[in-house]
Amino acid sequence: MTKAVIIYGGNTRKSRLKGLLDRAEKFLSANHFEFETIYVHELPAEDLISANFNSESIIEANAKVAAADVIIIVTPTYKASYSGILKTYLDLLPQKGFEGKTVLPLVLGGSFGHLLVIEYALKPVLSALGARLILKGAFVLDTQVEYAESGQFLIHLQAEERLGQVLQVLQEEESRCLPSIHK
């Protein structure tokens, strides 16, 4: 069974970013991935800000990443980049913490003017962490995710199709690599 970790770089579980997380978790469940989610904003702030590599919470989160075959990064766009919350955690990963892993970025932003945040801000960091494969990812406008009265998030059709496509590519890549990764 393929193991995945979702790293959630938002600052609350109530933002529209959670809609992307929910969609990713639903896909992983439906496709029999074993997965966990790391909510970076729920890790001890002092440990993140002071770069406490010896923090029990950070060591535990890093162990989840180390055990995973797939990493899904979920982040909002702030100032044309990924969130600072996410950055504080990525800085605490080992130098090659993503080595041998497939990484899928899912990004929420306010305008398509920030569409290149994946290519120019996020991918260089993911590459430096040694990712085996960085998939194209998906950029979703925050206006394409709505909070419903039921407590769920509704993703507009166009964004849902993009998310479905990149998640399907993730499934196909992992199916292709399964024999070599899980020997």
Q: What would the pLDDT profile of 48-84 be if each residue is shown by its tens digit?
A: 999 999 999 999 999 999 999 999 999 999 988 999 9
- Kindly indicate whether the domain formed by 3-177 is annotated with CATH number 3.40.50.360: yes
The pLDDT value recorded for residue 177 is 73
Domain ranges of the chain: 3-177
At residue 78, what are phi and psi to the nearest 5 degrees? Answer: -130, 130
C-alpha pair distances (Å), 177 with each of 26, 103, 119: 22, 13, 24
Structure tokens at 138: 């998906």
Q: What are residue 67's phi and psi, to 5 degrees?
A: -80, -10
Predicted confidence (pLDDT) at residue 107 exceeds the cutoff of 70: yes
- Torsion, Cα 120 121 125 127, to 10 degrees, reads -20
Q: Bridge partners of 102?
A: 70, 133
pTM score of the predicted model? 0.94
